[in-house]
Structure formats: C-alpha cells, structure tokens
Amino acid sequence: MPATPAPEVTHRPDERFDEFLLAAAATHPGHPAVVEYADGAERVTTFRGLRETAERYAAQLDRFGLEIGDRVMIVSDTSAEAVALVLACASRGLPFVPVSPETPAERRATIERLAEPALCLTADGRPEGAVGHGRFGGGTIEVPQPPVRRGGSRRVVTPTDTAYIIFTSGTTGRPKGVVMSHRAVVAFYRGMIAEGFVSVGDRVASTSPLQFDFSLLDIGMALGSGAAVAPVPRALLRWPTRFLKVLRVTRATHVNGVPSIWRQSLRHIPDQLADLPDLRGVLFCGEEFPLAELRHLQRLRPGIRLINCYGATESMAASFAEVPDPLPDDVTHLSIGNGHEGTDILLLDAEGASVREEGVVGEMYLRSPALMTGYWGDADATDAVLVIDPLEPRSGQRLLRTGDLAFRGADGALRFCGRRDSQVQIRGNRVEPAEVQRRLLAHSDVCEAAVVVAEGPGREAELCAFVVLADGADGTAESDLRAFCLRAMPAYMAPGVVRIVDSLPVNQHGKTDHRRLLAQLLADA
Ligand SMILES: Nc1ncnc2c1ncn2[C@@H]1O[C@H](COS(=O)(=O)NC(=O)C[C@H](N)c2ccccc2)[C@@H](O)[C@H]1O
C-alpha cells in the first residue's frame, strides 16, 4: 500500500504574513514549527505553541495602543520567541525591523533614527532606558518608559500594508530600508512553496541572521510548508564541527545559507559532512557557489538536492534553479532559472530591447507581485530601481531593475554573470571582475577567489585577485595564476595583482567582503 502523501498545508488568498506562516497550526498543531539547539539537545516549539506565544505577544502589544504602521524594532537572532514576536507584530499591522544583536551601536542608532520605531525590543535581559526601549521573552514585553499613545485613524490591516522593513547596505553608505508589504512577501512565499522543496515533517536549518531576509525565506519555506525552521546559533556557525553537530542534533533535512557556510566543513571535516544522517537538500543564495566546492559537496552527498536561489532583498528573491547532479565538468555558470512561479525575469540590452540570443549578456529586470513597496523615506532611490515597464511604458507597471547581468544558456534559462555597477574599463576595455574570478576558480589548485578593482584619481583601474589555494597546492605561485588567466583571456583581463591568502573575509551576511579586500590593498599600498 503506497504511503499516503502527508496532507499539505492549505492557504487562502491574500493572507497576512502571520496568517500564511501559521496556516499549518490549523491542520498540524502538534507538529514542530521551530526546533532550537539548546545545550546539545533540541528544543521543539509546535505550531500550536508558536501560535499561542504569538497571541500572548499580540495582547502585550495591544497595551501600548500603537497605530497600524508603527514600527517595532526587534534586536534578536532567529528563535522561537523572535518568530512569535514577528508574527504578533504582523497580526497588528506593525512593521517589524529586524536588527542583529551584533550590529555595531552606531549602525543600530542610524537605523533607529531612520525607522523611528515606536518600540525597540531586545531579546536579552538588558534593561533599556530610552522611551519605547524594552525587552521581550517568555511571551511578555517590558518597556520601562512606554511610547506616548498618538491615537490614529487606521481601521484594518490590508495586504498592501508593510510587513517588515529590512535595512541593507546602501552604496552611499546610508542604509536603505527595503519596505515589503504583506502581499509582496506572501506572493513570494507562494511562488517558493510551489517549488515543493520541503514538506510536512521536514526541518530547515537557517544559518542567516534575522536581519538578513534570507532568514525570512527560511522561516517562510519551513512554516508555510508545515515544516520546522531550525535556527543555527550564530556563535556555532563558524566552527565546522559545532555547525555539523547542530545539524545532527536538530535532524536537519535541509540547510539554507550563503555558499561560505560550507567552506570550512568541505575543507577540514568532509567525512563528517558525508555522515550527516538526515540532510537531503541544500539551498544557497547571495553569491555564486564556487563550482569546485559544489562538486565536492555533490560527491560527499550523492543524490542531494541543490537549489541555486537568486534574488535581491527588494523582492526577497526571484528564482530557484536545481543544480544538475552531477554538475557536468564543462559547466562554468550555474543556471538561475527564469523566475519562480508567478514572476518573469526580462533580459534587456542597454537600449531596453529584449535579448533573446543564447550567450548574449543583458541586464535582468524582474516582473513580480513580490516587489518591494519602495525604499523607506527615499523616493528618488525607489524610482531608480522600480522602473516603468520598458516593454510597455503605457501600462505604468513597475519592474525591479536588478542591476545584475546575465545571459541565456542553450536551455533558455538565465546565468548570472556579474553586477552592472562592478563592470570596469581596463585600458579602454569593459571587464566584469566576476569573469576573472570565475577563471581563477577554474584552476585545480584554487578553492576560493575574489577579484576587486583598485582605482583612484590619476591612476589606471587595476584588477587585483585574492586567491585561497586548496590544501596541498603550495607549489602554485601568483605568477602561475596570472599566466593561467592569460591563457584564456586578453591581457587587459588578467589581474595585475594576485595575492595568495589563507582565507577570504566575509561580511555580516556571510558574503565575500570586497570592501575589506580593497581596504587591505590600499593599506598595503
Ligand atoms: N544565486 C545567486 N548567484 C549570484 N549572485 C547572487 C545570487 N543571489 C543573489 N546574488 C547577488 O546578490 C544581490 C542581492 O544582494 S542582497 O540584496 O543583499 N540580497 C541577498 O543577497 C539575499 C537575497 N535577498 C536572498 C534572500 C533569500 C533567498 C535568496 C536571496 C543580487 O542582486 C545579486 O547580485
């Protein structure tokens, strides 16, 4: 008798963010919703427990008489309590603004100045003095100096109201607040759930900080499917043996994260990675996964499902593409697909005309119901990226101009090939640093590479490469790597500087930190 498929979760149209995430509480109340790692053991919060805690927090929030649209800043990593508070805020139409506890005080103050939250709640017991500052935990909220009630005119929360604001780095140094409505997030969640990555009973390990929308993807992917999210404690993530222990103890069936989270395990404890009993899916995003590392992961975990998720915070994400297993040796670029269900990614040339030919590079524009409302308090920056449909301007429809370059493969699917704004002219020739990085990664002795552009007044732009060699490849010199590039690309594309280093710095989101590499270069100049 074939096993009857586990009954999936039923959703209804235009659910609020919290209604979407708690839908499974109606059909699977006793199932795990959040599985935390606590002192070597798992601590389970069921969907019923999560809903009850969210209701307690909502009742606590009601005491402050806030108005729909008032912001609540939440300073916490992902946890059952933080997810419950996020759900409570969403149920009252209070946009949450997640900030990591390790955020430097100055940046947190900047975000607070921009967002002007009515409440700023931290997870730990630190008593906060300022008005509206307080703490949350165990279903209670304590604010020594509550905000002044301002009364208001709003009546009900609508799908176009703001669910959250994520502050991400802005090129001008001023953080940009990405405003996401209930409708946009739930539209994205529906598109993602339709891909069928996880199902009831699965456990999705989440490795991104709550302030990074990747964590919100993990929470939506898990809870929206009736599965559990298993937050990996930030302090353990950087130790491969502890990271894998968390995955083992929480019985993670799926792990979501940026590519760099796998680097140390692949290098130093591949056998432990091979032995994890429950792992059957990995979703990665945020930057390209070095292909040698990806192939290594496939060899260690035969049959594992690898998903390349592409997208920007302005739409949470945009596409999912399965990595072929095994990844053919001649593949140099991973497919990012053509947009998840309900979206379409256009490829346009500099004149705004569609690019259809295979292999021709264009810029991606995203047509989607999951687009952000705009940047918080910055209409000009919003208009620069939410542009009128270039194919039909009369409609007034807005598309996200991604700033990302791609080309179509023989299968018609898109391949990411760098950022428009990272292109540089070297001796009059256009160069995409990502292409030089990819060439270096193709060297069998190279396991990590990054290419930055050193430029300044009165000096030629110069490509500088930072390379981490694979274990045992000590004989390879910088000159060998430069010669390797020259064998496949014109001289102006070969990096003028090649630095062999022990590791590459990553930023707070786990992505290669190009700014730090540049600073290193300038400091040594
Ligand atoms: N799979 C990729 N290959 C290659 N370059 C990529 C890729 N995913 C992004 N990127 C790059 O990262 C940029 C977006 O950076 S971001 O705004 O900080 N957001 C993120 O990185 C995370 C993103 N919001 C997200 C969250 C949750 C799931 C998926 C994606 C994109 O515009 C791309 O340039």
DSSP letters for 20-35: HHHTHHHH-TTSEEEE
Q: Whose CA is nearest to atom 14 of ligand 1?
A: 312
* Nearest atom of ligand 1 to the alpha carbon of 308: 1
**Strand residues in 199-280 grouped as ranges (E):** 203-206, 228-231, 254-257
Distance 312 CA to ligand 1 centre (A): 5
State in Å: Cα 105 to ligand 1 middle: 26
pLDDT value at residue 4: 53
Cα–Cα dist 408/474, whole Å = 37
On the CB side of 13, how many CA atoms lie within 13 Å of its CA? Answer: 0
Tokens 């008593």 correspond to: 127
Here the ipTM equals 0.96
Instruction: State residue 45's pLDDT score.
Output: 98
**pLDDT, tens digit, for every residue of 62-88?**
999 999 999 999 999 999 999 999 999
φ, ψ at 463 (rounded to 5°): -80, 130
Average pLDDT over residues 369-383: 97
The percentage of the chain sitting over the pLDDT mark of 70, rounded to a whole number, equals 98
Q: What is the mean pLDDT of residues 487-515?
A: 92
**Interval 496-509 mean pLDDT:** 93
Q: What is the pLDDT of residue 129?
A: 78
The atom of ligand 1 lying closest to the CA of 313 is: 24
**What's the Cα-to-Cα distance from 379 to each of 179, 278, 317, rounded to whole Å?**
12, 47, 22
pLDDT value of residue 474: 81
Contact between residue 273 and residue 265 where contact means Cβ atoms under 8 Å apart: yes
Q: Averaged over 22-45, what is the pLDDT?
A: 97
What is the predicted pLDDT for the residue at 124? 74
CA of 213 to the centre of ligand 1 (A): 10
Q: Which amino acid is at 106?
A: E
Name all residues whose Cβ lies below 6 A of ligand 1: 168, 213-214, 217, 285-288, 308-313, 316-317, 336, 402, 404, 416, 419
Instruction: Output the pLDDT for position 472.
Output: 84
**pTM given for the model:** 0.92
Ligand 1 midpoint to CA 311 (Å):
4
CA nearest ligand 1 atom 6, residue: 287
**Spacing, Cα 310 to ligand 1 middle (Å):** 5
Closest protein CA for atom 21 of ligand 1: 286
Range with the lowest mean pLDDT among 98-102, 384-388, 425-429?
425-429
Ligand 1 atom nearest residue 178's Cα: 17
Q: How far, in Å, from the CA of 216 to the mean position of ligand 1?
A: 14
Q: Is the pLDDT of residue 2 over 70?
A: no
E-strand spans in 420-491? 424-426, 429-431, 446-456, 459-469
For residue 402, the Cα-to-chain-centroid distance in whole angstroms is 15
Chain segment 298-316, per-residue pLDDT in tens: 999 999 999 999 999 999 9
pLDDT of residue 196: 94
Tokens of 381: 């920056």
Distance 370 CA to ligand 1 centre (A): 15
Q: For residue range 126-159, list pLDDT tens digits in order.
A: 766 799 999 999 999 999 999 988 878 999 999 9
Please identify, by atom number, the ligand 1 atom nearest to the C-alpha of residue 419. 34
What is the distance in A from the centroid of ligand 1 to the CA of 7? 32
Helix or strand holding residue 59 (H, E): helix 47-62
Strand partners, 136: 141
pLDDT band at 179 (very low <50, low <70, confident <90, very high): very high
Residues 455-484: b if buried by 16+ CB within 10 A, e if exposed = eeeeeeebbbbbbbbbeeeeebeeeebbeb
Q: Residue 214 and residue 194: Cα distance in Å, rounded?
A: 18
What is the C-alpha separation between 20 and 286, in angstroms, rounded?
25
- CA 182 to each of CA 45, 160, 363: distance values in angstroms, whole numbers, following the listed order: 24, 6, 28
Nearest alpha carbon, ligand 1 atom 27: 214
What is the rounded average pLDDT for all residues in the chain? 93
Q: Could you tell me the distance, in angstroms and rounded to a whole number, from the CA of residue 145 to the centre of ligand 1?
A: 39
Report the atom number in ligand 1 closest to the C-alpha of 314: 17
Report d(CA 33, CA 83) in Å as an integer. Answer: 10
Whole-number Å distance between alpha carbons of 16 and 1: 39
When pLDDT is cut at 50, 70 and 90, the band that residue 445 belongs to is very high
Q: What is the mean pLDDT of residues 193-210?
A: 96
Mean pLDDT on 258-281: 96
pLDDT band at 424 (very low <50, low <70, confident <90, very high): confident
Range of weakest confidence among 366-375, 477-486, 515-524: 515-524
